[in-house]
Structure 1
Amino acid sequence: MSNDSNPVSGFDVTVVVASHNRAQSLATTLECLCRQHVTGARWRVLAVDNASTDETPTVLERFAADTRFELKALSEPRPGKPRALNRAVDQIEAGLVVFIDDDVNLGVHWLQSYIDAAARWPDHAIFGGPIIPVFPPDAPAWVQDQRYVRQSPMFAYYEAREDEGLTTRVPLGPNMMIRRSAIGAHRFDERLGPGGTHRLMGDETEFEYRLARLGYHPYVYVPAARAEHRVRPEQLTVKAVWARAYLWGRSMALTHGRSSRGVYLYGVPLRYWSGAARAWLRYAPFAFGPRHFRLKYGWQWQVRAGRLRGYLDSRDSKEESRQ
């Protein structure tokens, strides 16, 4: 691995990917990066080994020696994806910063599409490309139902519009680009994301929302910068999907802040009590009914139940801090 003590300088574009114990998946994604066709820009990959105990260091060493692209391997021994991303951002001085996950497939013109879009939209700072889930061959039919996939952050589906242009839909972490000048001294919240102290979702979107409040919005959607998200078999059970929905709801409650408006009951906005109750009542008649409705309304119920739990957790933590 290369020395990571000095910031990266002299590069127009830096691609950042963090990985924890997914050496084979990381290798597949890095191979996609090796094949990029880029002209007129100097670019590099910062790949962060986030406390891995598998073959990840070996994979990074191999790709660091690959002459098809430039890769700098970093190490973040503290578990947590936001910590790993911050480790990389600290090494970048300027230019465009592209964030991807270690389980995406990328076409050969993916990076060039982002570079070209940045030139076309010089007054905008945050860009996102489509994310299309790719399922294993033996995936059950219900998870591939487009009505279901499009409502589920479980598979990181993202298509903001048909053509390139501005959108209010925040790009998702597996495929987004931010100008380094907009990031400034801001960093990802290390309480969030995989391995975070609060075990919450939404570390990248929370980061983008913070930048948006500073004026870096709307976002630019770049349809040519397409990424395919490889869905893992363990993500395909109803239990796993609903657990993700519950976690998503809890994360929204704990990261979006508390409004002083409205009526509260036991520290929770009354509308969230009623929302959870309505969601359960919608789900109950379909508990043993048609699969699509069972999944759809079950998902919605889990999101609202998780959001209710998040507000209760927030209330309890505030009461403990006052004692």
Structure 2
Amino acid sequence: MPINISILLATYKRPEVLNRTLASFSSLHSDSVTWDLWVVDNAVDPSTETVVKKWAEKLPIHYLVEPKAGKNNALNLALPGLKGQLVVLTDDDIIASPAWLKQLWEGAQRWPDHMVFGGKIIANWPGVAPFWGEDHPMNQSLFGLHSLGEKEMPYRDNLLPYGANMAVRREIFEKGYNFNPSVGPNGEKVYRMGSETEFLKRLERDGYIPIFLPKAVVEHQIRREQMDMRWVAERSFRSGFTDCAGAMPDGKTLLSVARYLWRQLLVALIMNYIYKIVPNKRKKFSYFVALNRARGKIYAQLSHDEAFSKKIFHKKLLKIIKA
């Protein structure tokens, strides 16, 4: 029987989280839509294999192992074997709504001239909502939440689907597109985020405009450690690093860094001290995120100047900004 949809995800040492994801797949109401699931273990983790084997009794799972570090290496490993007409890309920490696949498939049929689709991603908080508020605008980028509202429509204004809930017709991969191994999680603490975004931007440049399908919904499992301010700081730092990675500083510079970034850092630092005194949790959180994003941007530009990076002062400055 032909496969309509192939779901593809990479996983890295999160067996408990993956178990909840696979459990949600067992409740999918796909009707006549045929599908299979490709799980690529990027850690060669025995616990992950145990979880996958348990669910293989109930789900149409193909299990692959990619020992080479890098989420995109893991995704690329599976591409040649995918048989689904529509390839659904997601993460190992989602909870799929029962109608998820059905909505993606039917949406793709309604837009036959389009090759790329994105769905809605909402938060699944670990018990209580965060102290800064579950409606804080920065939650979107911190936790990969995504929505364009309730209307089905093409993406616009430089917006693109998010990696935890997107679909691409298999023809895209048959044309030679794949994922860039230099982007995305790779085992390092500091890396360039946005592996799916980089992929989608290439498609957009080539004329492939995505369609937003609001009824195709998944929840992102927010874990308790992600509510810790240390995790928020690291995530924000990587986000800032991604914004400036590989880019030359624009305008006037100071110590190989755009001056406006030093101003951003100084303002955010001052505001962080102010909101340690003034009781406004939302603003305190906003400036905490802004401070760490500024650190990430400065670190990216300092790292870009190879000649300057050989100087002892520069190395110490890199260490201070990263700490």
Give me the TM-score of the superposition, normalised by structure 2. Answer: 0.85
Secondary structure of 2:277's counterpart equals coil
Indicate yes or no: 2:191 matched with 1:199: yes
Counterpart Cα distance in 2 of 1:21 and 1:94: 27
Secondary structure of 1:306's counterpart equals helix
CA deviation after TM superposition for structure 1 residue 282, in Å: 4.1
CA deviation after TM superposition for structure 1 residue 171, in Å: 1.3
Equivalent residue in structure 2 for 1:48, among 24, 40, 45: 40
Shift of the 34–318 alpha-carbon distance from structure 1 to 2, 3 Å rule, reads: farther
* 1:135 alignment partner in structure 2: 125
* 1:6 alignment partner in structure 2: none
CA deviation after TM superposition for structure 1 residue 294, in Å: 0.8
Listed as ranges, the matches of 1:255-266 within 5 Å are 257-258=247-248, 262-266=251-255
Once the two structures are superposed, residues 228-256 of structure 1 have per-residue CA deviations (whole angstroms, 9 ceiling, x without a partner) of 1111111111121122101110012116x
Secondary structure of 1:142's counterpart equals coil
CA deviation after TM superposition for structure 1 residue 299, in Å: 0.8
Counterpart Cα distance in 1 of 2:308 and 2:212: 39
Secondary structure of 1:61's counterpart equals helix
Moved over 6 A (4+): 317-320
Listed as ranges, the matches of 1:132-171 within 5 Å are 132-137=122-127, 139=128, 141-148=130-137, 150-168=138-156, 169-171=159-161
Counterpart Cα distance in 2 of 1:98 and 1:12: 10
CA deviation after TM superposition for structure 1 residue 283, in Å: 3.8
Counterpart Cα distance in 1 of 2:169 and 2:248: 30
* 1:17 alignment partner in structure 2: 9
Contact 1:21 1:54 in 2 (8 A): no
Contact 2:3 2:35 in 1 (8 A): yes
Counterpart Cα distance in 2 of 1:212 and 1:52: 34
Listed as ranges, the matches of 1:284-303 within 5 Å are 284-289=273-278, 290-303=280-293
Once the two structures are superposed, residues 29-75 of structure 1 have per-residue CA deviations (whole angstroms, 9 ceiling, x without a partner) of 11222222223433211111222424211222232232xx4221111
Counterpart Cα distance in 2 of 1:173 and 1:101: 7
Listed as ranges, the matches of 1:83-102 within 5 Å are 83-92=73-82, 95-102=85-92
Shift of the 263–90 alpha-carbon distance from structure 1 to 2, 3 Å rule, reads: farther
Contact 1:262 1:269 in 2 (8 A): yes
Secondary structure of 1:145's counterpart equals coil
Amino acid at match of 1:153: S
* 2:231 alignment partner in structure 1: 240
CA deviation after TM superposition for structure 1 residue 93, in Å: 5.4
Equivalent residue in structure 2 for 1:72, among 56, 59, 62: 62
Shift of the 284–22 alpha-carbon distance from structure 1 to 2, 3 Å rule, reads: same
Once the two structures are superposed, residues 195-247 of structure 1 have per-residue CA deviations (whole angstroms, 9 ceiling, x without a partner) of 25662321111111122111112x21111111111111111111211221011
CA deviation after TM superposition for structure 1 residue 14, in Å: 0.6
Amino acid at match of 1:297: Y
Amino acid at match of 1:11: I
Contact 1:94 1:181 in 2 (8 A): no
Amino acid at match of 1:48: V
Secondary structure of 1:90's counterpart equals helix
Query: Which has the higher mean CA deviation after the structures are superposed, 281-290 or 294-303?
Result: 281-290
Equivalent residue in structure 1 for 2:52, among 46, 60, 71: 60
Contact 1:82 1:196 in 2 (8 A): no
Once the two structures are superposed, residues 106-147 of structure 1 have per-residue CA deviations (whole angstroms, 9 ceiling, x without a partner) of 11111000001111112222211111111112x464154312
Shift of the 87–288 alpha-carbon distance from structure 1 to 2, 3 Å rule, reads: farther
Counterpart Cα distance in 2 of 1:299 and 1:189: 27
Shift of the 170–62 alpha-carbon distance from structure 1 to 2, 3 Å rule, reads: same
CA deviation after TM superposition for structure 1 residue 287, in Å: 3.5
Structure 1: unaligned runs, 5 residues or longer? 1-8
Query: Which has the higher mean CA deviation after the structures are superposed, 266-275 or 200-209?
Result: 266-275
* 2:214 alignment partner in structure 1: 223
Structure 2: unaligned runs, 5 residues or longer? 311-323
Contact 2:38 2:62 in 1 (8 A): yes
Secondary structure of 1:158's counterpart equals coil
Query: Which has the higher mean CA deviation after the structures are superposed, 89-98 or 206-215?
Result: 89-98
Shift of the 299–38 alpha-carbon distance from structure 1 to 2, 3 Å rule, reads: same
Contact 2:179 2:196 in 1 (8 A): yes
Secondary structure of 1:241's counterpart equals helix
Secondary structure of 1:55's counterpart equals helix
